[in-house]
Amino acid sequence: MRDLLSLPKAHLHVHLESTVRWATLREISAANRVEVPAHAGTFGDFASFFARNDLVRACLRRPADFRRIAYEFCADESAQGVRYAEVSFTAAGHGERLGDLGMPLQAVLEGLEAGQDAFGIECRLILDHSRRRSVERAWRTLDLARRHERVIAVGLAGDEAHPGDPFTEVFAAARDAGLHVVHHAGEGEGPASIRQALGPGRAERLGHGIRILDDPDLVAEVRERGIPLEVCPSSNVALGFAPSLDAHPLPVLREEGLLVTLNTDIPALINTSLTTEYANVRDTFGYDDRTLAELAGDTVTASFAPPETKTRLHSEIATWLNSA
pLDDT at 293: 98
Beta bridge partners of 134: none
Q: What percent of the chain has pLDDT over 70?
A: 98
Q: With a cut of 80, say whether residue 205 has pLDDT above it.
A: yes
User: Is residue 278 pLDDT above 70, yes or no?
Assistant: yes
Return the pLDDT at 9: 98
Window from 41-50, 122-131, 223-232 with minimum mean pLDDT? 41-50
Dist CA 72 CA 78 (whole Å): 10
CA dist 186 and 212 (Å) reads 6
pLDDT score of 39: 72
Please give the pLDDT value at position 43.
67
Q: What is the pLDDT of residue 199?
A: 97
How many Cα neighbours within 13 Å face the side chain of 134?
7
| Given 17, 160, 187, 230, the catalytic residue | 187
**Contact in structure between 11 and 51 (CB atoms under 8 Å):** no
Query: Which pLDDT does position 35 carry in this prediction?
Result: 85
Q: Rounded to two decimals, what is the model's pTM?
A: 0.96
Mean pLDDT confidence for 283-296? 98
Burial tier of 63 (Cβ tally within 10 Å: 0-12, 13-18, 19+): middle
| Among the listed residues 149, 243, 160, the one whose alpha carbon sits nearest the alpha carbon of residue 209 | 160
Delineate the domains of the chain, giving CATH numbers in brackets: 9-272 (3.20.20.140)
Q: What mean pLDDT is reported for the chain?
A: 96
Is 187 a known active-site residue? yes
Q: What is the pLDDT of residue 41?
A: 66
Does residue 50 have a pLDDT over 80?
Answer: no
- Averaged pLDDT, 214-241: 97
pLDDT digits (tens, 9 = 90+) for 136-169: 999 999 999 999 999 999 999 999 999 999 999 9
